[in-house]
Structure 1
Amino acid sequence: MSTQKRIGILTSGGDCAGLNAVIRAAVHRAELTYGWSVIGLREGTQGLLRRPVDYQVMSLGMVDGAMLRLGGTVLGTTNRGEPFAYPMGDGTVRDRSDEVIGGFRELGLDALIGIGGDGSFAILRRLAQKAEIPFVGVPKTIDNDLGLTEVSVGFDTAVGVAVEALDRLQPTAASHQRVMVLEVMGRDAGHIALAAGIAGGADVILIPEIAYSIEAVAAKIRQVRSTGRNFALVVVSEAVKTLDGSGVTRAYHGGETRYGGIGSYIGDRISEATGAETRVTVLGHVQRGSPPSPRDRLIASAFGVHAVDLIAEGQFDRMVAWSNRGVHSVPLAEAIARNARVLPDDPLITTARGLGISLGD
């Protein structure tokens, strides 16, 4: 294209592996194919709120192969400070969306690529609609719960970290005749627990989409013992509820509440029901900080290239997506609306049951 454009790119929400690979691919495609420049916005919309605007001109020299391997995001990210209800120091909230839009205008940007999940996309889409900003979304979430895409950036790496943890827990479980409980992330969906549990040889997988009973879990552990095996592996998603239907959460500084602790709850119940010695491991943010897996690097690269192509084609308010071994785009609003939880007929549910894995039901 003959007209040079300035494309903004930002990462928003929780970090994950593969974000830098998206940025790298977008810069390569924009500069090498279209002759455009890419402007990296620091810490998501926070960079657009600052004056002067906090940004970085991204050059090919900055986005080499080393960047492809980096976890996290070189631009920084945030999951706080919603522009339409920004928390102020005096405890009030204020609509600062016009300031964000002003920062975008100040940089003279022609379009924006946002790498985020459903929450980030909802905010970015609202900003884009208010200011008529040409916007394209790239899905990233270790939970893999965005609609209309088979996979999001970060999911494969998170599963790999969980599988590696199971590989390390198995020998020590066998050495001490223990039941090892591994708590993995998964805010509302059990995709990480399900995939990692199958790949890591778990005996029990508990996910928020399937109700469980401790007796069913205990029965599986007794069945494992009856075969002569002296240990068991249990994977539980952080969003699994207690038997009375309550989520297990922890309060953090500033009043923020997050999931955490269901692993210990399940471990105690297993010990009470079976007499087994249990140990609990909580992976937490270890799943976010790893260098991206080869598959995440590939998916992220394909997404970054396609996002720039969508801008070149004038296709906006869309999200890049992966299905049928290919990359395409879908309406952003539909992707946000269709939360992709684990369905009862999911092929991996069938696989788990076929392997004799207990899902607690």
Structure 2
Amino acid sequence: MSKWKAILLIVVVSLAGVFFFAYQQFNSTLYTKLAFSQPTLYELKRGQNMHHLLRYLGEEGGLSANWPVKLLVKIDPALARLKAGTYELTPDMNALDVIALLVSGKEKLFDIRLVEGFRWRDWSQQLQSHPHLDATLLDEFAQQLNPQGGSLEGWLMPDTYHFTQGTQASELVNRAYQDMLDFLQAQWPNRKADLPYNSPYEALIMASIVEKETGLAEERPRIAAVFVNRLRKKMRLQTDPTVIYGMGEAFDGDIRRQDLRAATPYNTYVIKGLPPTPIAMVSREALMATLHPIDSDELYFVSRNDGSHVFSTNLADHNAAVRQYQLKK
């Protein structure tokens, strides 16, 4: 073999080795799982680009080299169109997976469960304390919304709400309000005939009482029927949750005799008819029970202390049930 052929062979072999090494690193960089041991949040801010992502993946994800990604972006410029947002990077992801995720714009969705039976102040605290919500405009928005009754109490639909990082809490409140408004307007025309509610808002108030009084879901229409019967007979509703709501911060867990006699706008042992506003947030089920109570003559119920109730059509039977289950006599 001539000298030049030997040199050429060495060059070819060397180039092949370099190419093979580069090819191996190229594939390894793009397809090897990154070093995330658990799901990790990554935020690409507005104005940031591939450079910021690669630096993060190198520092936190163990990305061995940047050049394979940069080369790939040169070949396919669409891969550089990263969308700002907060993303969840998982242990099974490689560099290509991360890039595809940021190009798709499918941000991490967080959620919050707004629970039926809670008051607006409970919900407000929950929204303000959520680490991924922006609650700076919440109080201002709540005042501007100003629904019927002048309070958000009862007007927000309990549900699990999903959102992206930094979403305004007021946006969730508006969604919950529109959901309740739409549901109430849709169900009101289909209500049972001859109910003693003069408006959808009165039905919402009643539904909040049913919500607070119900321990077993299947009892909602029966409890609603008791209150409907009492309204029809011009009897006071005499329901403890309205007393508690009227006491506000003064409620310490116990209702005393003087509390039942206290003249607040919500004390249904004192006032006739419904309180002025709902006393809690209302589930779809409680509202449906309020609009479709069962047919019954029952006027009383008392708790068995297991979530269920004993229902009675007369005071004598009710007092007997109270003695059995509440006074233990």
- TM > 0.5 fold call: no
Between Structure 1 and Structure 2, the one with more helix by share is 2
Structure with the larger strand share: 1
Higher relative contact order structure (alpha carbons within 8 Å, sequence separation ≥ 6):
1
* TM-score (ref. length: structure 2): 0.26
**Greater CA radius of gyration, 1 or 2?**
2
